[in-house]
Structure 1
Amino acid sequence: MCFAIAGTLGLIWTGTSGGLLQLRNVPFKVYLFGTLGLFGYHALYFSALRLAPAAEAGLIAYLWPLLIVLMSGLLPSEQLRKGHIIGGLIGFAGAAVIVLRGAGDFSGDALPGYGLAFLCALTWSGYSVLSRSFGAVPTASVTVFCVASAILSVPMHLAFETTVWPAGLMGWMSCLALGLGPVGLAFFVWDIGVKQGDIQLLGVASYAAPVLSTGALVLAGIAEPGWALVLATALITLGAALAARASAKSRQA
């Protein structure tokens, strides 16, 4: 549903900005690549959550920012420095603090779920880094990625999940908000970032996501503030600062 919202809005934006002709000129392999990235990541992520405890699986899946930092060193135009790696590790530690709050021990019975979570991290990091190779492809192509992901989600849902519709106005508005933001606009701006921005710094800074989401829950009165949020924020900020310093040195070199 969220991908359908994102795809519909993307089509409206692309149509009104005169970009539909650009979509016709995008090679099929790019559409296949982008769809595998978006749909594959989410299919693996939700499958992992069904087979393993959410906190532990979520932490493994959250290796993708660190993998982006490490994989970016393989790009011909990028220079990977020690500060990027250290910053990525510190950022991961910060994410671990907040993701594993109240989690139990890692269970051997959940190994299939952990494996899917790791594949999930590989999928998103690979999609992000390889997108750099498609810098000339317009960001409007993400519209097709979203529409294709929405279509593919239907048979997957019918095969593996029980249909539960959003409950009440709040449920439907939440779905709409997800389609507009985290499962919508975020993919378009992420495409711009990985193609044109500082990909190492982008990877480390991505660890701010669990902190921001927890902070939103605190502001909404759903979660309580605590030491974990403060410590995670400090670690992730430190990691991002180290990565930013390393990026500045790379530009000066």
Structure 2
Amino acid sequence: MTRPQATAVGFVAVLLWALLALFTVGSAPTPPFLLNTLCFAIGGTLGLIWAAATGALSRLRDVPLRVYVFGTLGLFGYHALYFSALRLAPAAEAGLIAYLWPLLIVIFSGLLPGETLKKGHIIGACFGFAGAALIITGGGAGFSATYAPGYALAVLCALTWSGYSVLSRKVGTAPTASVAVFCLASAALSLPMHLMFEETLLPQTTLGWAAIAGLGLGPVGLAFFVWDIGVKQGDIQLLGTSSYAAPLLSTLVLVIAGVAAPSFTLLWAAALITGGAAIAARASLRQ
């Protein structure tokens, strides 16, 4: 697979993640760790079936344990934080804060050996975080302590996924099929956490179960496999640039579905985050 082809495959994950917030809201009242368990079990099982069908199953025995630990912590940590954030704060606002990860990927990529952090990266970061601040303060209406825990988890969510994506370069020789093990291990970690800290609540409607199935098949399933190909074999900075479509697409989906109301605050925040990301990406591409 060529570098441009791998980058294009990775972009499929961006399109799938545009549905993540909508499906997460639709899966209510399922608590975060139980949702993690169900979705990762679906995604991991399908991944193993794919690995068996393509003959990649035997290669999983040769993957070092540290790679499995790294991948599991990345997937489990990100989604536990993401699902929790959307339960504790409005979906559109928490989702946009979490989508600071494309900007952070560009910045972290610039800090890797052989790369430099340019002025454009700094300016882009300021724009992006200005957008996040606009969301948190409600467009100048004041900080809402009610949603502070959700906003904080969304910030941690962005840091977790950007760190996982950039550091995936360090384990570039691990087969993409290993993502199936990441998923199943994340499900296994989530189940005891659910049993210890959460009440078992499941959707009461067919639509709710469809949302969980949709998460497991797409945003918490196929997306990880195509993203793994993209960040390991493609142009990670160009892929990061394309990822900046995710917050706008995600918010647009929420508005169309009637989950979030369109507002100028949301519009300006999306513009700031996306614009800042584009500035940072331009600096990286020039480099």
TM-score of the aligned structures, taking structure 2 as reference length = 0.72
Distance 1:223 1:7 in 2: 31
Q: CA deviation at 1:17?
A: 1.0
Larger relative CO (CA 8 A, sep 6+): 1 or 2?
Answer: 2
Q: CA deviation at 1:71?
A: 2.3
Question: AA paired with 1:192?
Answer: I
Q: CA deviation at 1:132?
A: 1.0
Match of 2:248 in 1: 211
Match of 1:135 in 2: 172
From 131, 148, 153, the equivalent of 2:185 is: 148
Q: For residue 186 of structure 1, give the secondary structure of its aligned residue in structure 2.
A: helix
Q: For residue 228 of structure 2, give the secondary structure of its aligned residue in structure 1.
A: helix
Q: CA deviation at 1:203?
A: 4.0
Match of 2:127 in 1: 90
Contact 1:58–1:117 at 8 Å: present in 2 too? yes
Matched-pair identity in %: 69
Distance 1:98 1:114 in 2: 9
Distance 1:240 1:117 in 2: 17
Contact 1:34–1:142 at 8 Å: present in 2 too? yes
Distance 2:259 2:107 in 1: 35
Q: CA deviation at 1:16?
A: 0.8
Which segment is superposed worse, 176-185 or 219-228?
219-228
Contact 1:128–1:194 at 8 Å: present in 2 too? yes
Change beyond 3 A, Cα 1:104–1:176: farther
Contact 1:66–1:88 at 8 Å: present in 2 too? yes
Change beyond 3 A, Cα 1:181–1:228: farther
Q: CA deviation at 1:214?
A: 1.9
Q: CA RMSD in A?
A: 3.2
Match of 2:143 in 1: 105
Q: CA deviation at 1:175?
A: 0.8
Q: CA deviation at 1:234?
A: 3.4
Which segment is superposed worse, 162-171 or 198-207?
198-207
Change beyond 3 A, Cα 1:205–1:104: farther
TM-score of the aligned structures, taking structure 1 as reference length = 0.80
From 192, 204, 207, the equivalent of 1:167 is: 204
Matched, 1:188 2:204: no
Gaps of 5+ in 1: none
Provide Cα deviations, 1:145-175, integer angstroms capped at 9, x if missing partner.
0011111111111111111112221111111
Distance 1:144 1:228 in 2: 41
Matched, 1:247 2:274: no
Match of 2:60 in 1: 23
Which segment is superposed worse, 186-195 or 155-164?
186-195
Q: CA deviation at 1:235?
A: 3.1
Gaps of 5+ in 2: 1-37
Matched, 1:81 2:139: no
Q: CA deviation at 1:223?
A: 3.5
Change beyond 3 A, Cα 1:119–1:227: closer
Question: AA paired with 2:234?
Answer: G
